[in-house]
Amino acid sequence: MKLHTIKLSITFLFLITASVFAQDFQGKAVYHSKTTMDLDSWGRGQMSEEQKKRIADRMKSMFEKTYVLTFNRFESTYKEEERLEAPGQGGFGRMMMGNFTGGPQYKNVKEAQLLQEQEFFGKQFLVKDELQKLEWKMDGETKQIGQYTCFKATATKKVDDMDFMSMRRKSRKNDEKKEGEEVKDSVKSDDPMDELEVPKEMLVTAWYTLQVPVNQGPGEYWGLPGLILEVNAGRTTILCSKITLNPEEKEDIKAPTKGKEVTRQEYNAIMKQKIKEMREMYGGRRGGNFHRRN
């Protein structure tokens, strides 16, 4: 009964707030994204605290980013804010991750369309996909983010098999010998990629506000009756720090057109082939030594 009353209140508030937004409405939101990394499980306990700190400092620029979402009632662009690299960051690791992370992203929630520009090893692609529709569940819980009252929603999301930010070390259950069984993988691979996996799905928790009644959010997240200000998914947290509504200078929100148009499935196949080539080039013990030099 309480949840039903909350839903009615949400609908009423949304209708009233939406009526004051003109057709040419536009807004900007700044988001900070942070992904944590479990260096203990990756290092198998062999790294010192000093080594862990050094690696974490080098990877900070890859796992802590700032994005700007420019949006109107139906469209949005989501771009990483460029910044200068601090000494000791960047390097080969940063260059590699830059090839495997997305470029500027365009969403059209009315047409359920997602377009993403991506430069991959010197080649320009335009990845075209449908927006993944999440089955959001609302429980009526609220909290304050800045000056905005936000409502909680949760959903289970299918994870792209090339989502490197969601990559984790494989379970070590198979390493343990059970009674009456032999350990099948007693010979370990020298390739560190063989120890990694991407989960098939993950729980997503989002916080949205009806004070900005647009069906938008950071990255691929959308589908709620208000702007999504915070997302928690796996080891990644995305949090809005600033919102500007109806800025004096408005930007054209246009679908990108540059690059070879491919589907997400086709693009993933291209990435997998490139990774295979690189594993063959730097594989085996050479790959392990190369990894340790970083």
Q: Are 161 and 23 in contact (CB under 8 A)?
A: no
Using 50, 70 and 90 to split pLDDT, how confident is the model at 4? low
Which DSSP letter does residue 250 get?
A: -
Q: Kindly report the backbone phi and psi dihedral angles of residue 33, in degrees, each rounded to the nearest multiple of 5, phi listed first.
A: -110, 135
Higher pLDDT, 279 or 84: 279
Q: What percentage of the chain carries pLDDT values higher than 70? A: 60
Q: How does pLDDT run across 118-142, given as a tens digit for each residue?
A: 888 888 999 999 999 999 999 889 9
Mean pLDDT of 145-166: 86
| Mean pLDDT estimate for the chain | 77
Q: What percentage of the chain carries pLDDT values higher than 90? A: 41
Query: For the chain, how big is the Rg over CA atoms in Å?
Result: 22
For the chain, the straight-line distance linking the first and the last C-alpha, in angstroms and rounded, comes to 58
Q: Which of 109, 69, 62, 71 is nearest to 89 (CA)?
A: 62
Q: Which residues contact 144 (CB under 8 A, 6 or more apart)?
A: 150
Among 166-175, 211-220, 277-286, the minimum mean pLDDT is found in 166-175
Please determine, for residue 149, whether its predicted confidence score (pLDDT) is greater than 90: yes
pLDDT score recorded for residue 185: 47
Taking the C-alpha atoms of residue 175 and residue 188, their distance in angstroms, rounded to an integer, is 10
SS3 assignment, position 118: strand
